[in-house]
Structure 1
Amino acid sequence: MIKPYKDLESSKKEQVRSMFDKIAPRYDLLNHLLSFGIDKIWRKNVVKQLGGLTAPIILDVATGTGDLAIEIAKIDPVAVYGVDLSAEMLNIARKKVEKKRLHMTIQLKQGDSEALPFEDRFFDAATVAFGVRNFENLQKGLSEIQRVLKPGGRLVVLEFSRPKVFPFKQLFYFYMRRILPWWGGIISRDKQAYAYLPESALQFPEGKEFRRELENAGFEWQKGIAQTLGIATIYVAVKR
Structure 2
Amino acid sequence: MSELRSRAEDQQKIYQRWAPVYDRVYRGILRDGHRKLAALAAAAGTDILEIGVGTGLTLGHYPRHCRVTGIDISEHMIARAREKAKRENLEHVQALEVMDAHALTFADRSFDAVCLPFVITLIPEPERALDECARVLRPGGEIILASKLGDGAGLQGAIETAVAPLVRHIGWSSAFRIHRIVAWAERRGDFAAADILPVFPNGFFKIIRLKQRGLAG
Give the TM-score taking structure 2 as reference length.
0.83
2:39 corresponding residue in structure 1? 48
Q: Give structure 1 stretches of 5+ with no counterpart.
A: 4-8, 182-190
How far the C-alpha of 1:61 sits from its partner, in A, is: 0.4
Q: Give structure 2 stretches of 5+ with no counterpart.
A: none
List aligned pairs for 1:151-162, cutoff 5 A: 151-162=139-150
Alpha-carbon distance in 1 for matches of 2:181, 2:44 = 25
2:57 corresponding residue in structure 1? 67
3-state secondary structure, aligned to 2:95: strand
The yes-or-no answer on 1:230 pairing with 2:203 is: yes
How far the C-alpha of 1:94 sits from its partner, in A, is: 0.6
How far the C-alpha of 1:29 sits from its partner, in A, is: 1.5
The yes-or-no answer on 1:239 pairing with 2:212 is: yes
Give the TM-score taking structure 1 as reference length.
0.75
How far the C-alpha of 1:51 sits from its partner, in A, is: 4.8
- Contact preservation (8 Å) 1:161, 1:230: no
Alpha-carbon distance in 1 for matches of 2:64, 2:113 = 13
How far the C-alpha of 1:136 sits from its partner, in A, is: 1.2
Out of 72, 93, 98, the position equivalent to 1:84 is: 72
Runs of 4+ in 1 over 4 A off after TM superposition: 163-167
- Residues 144, 166 of structure 1: alpha-carbon distance in 2 compared, 3 angstrom cutoff: closer
- Contact preservation (8 Å) 1:97, 1:106: no
Aligned partner letter, 1:90: I
Q: Which one is further off, 60-69 or 210-219?
A: 210-219
The yes-or-no answer on 1:21 pairing with 2:12 is: no
Alpha-carbon distance in 1 for matches of 2:94, 2:185 = 26
Alpha-carbon distance in 2 for matches of 1:84, 1:51 = 20
2:175 corresponding residue in structure 1? 203
1:113 corresponding residue in structure 2? 101
1:212 corresponding residue in structure 2? 183
Q: Which one is further off, 81-90 or 98-107?
A: 98-107
Aligned partner letter, 1:139: E
3-state secondary structure, aligned to 1:142: helix
Backbone CA RMSD of aligned residues: 3.0
Out of 81, 91, 102, the position equivalent to 2:90 is: 102
Aligned length: 207
- Contact preservation (8 Å) 1:57, 1:80: yes
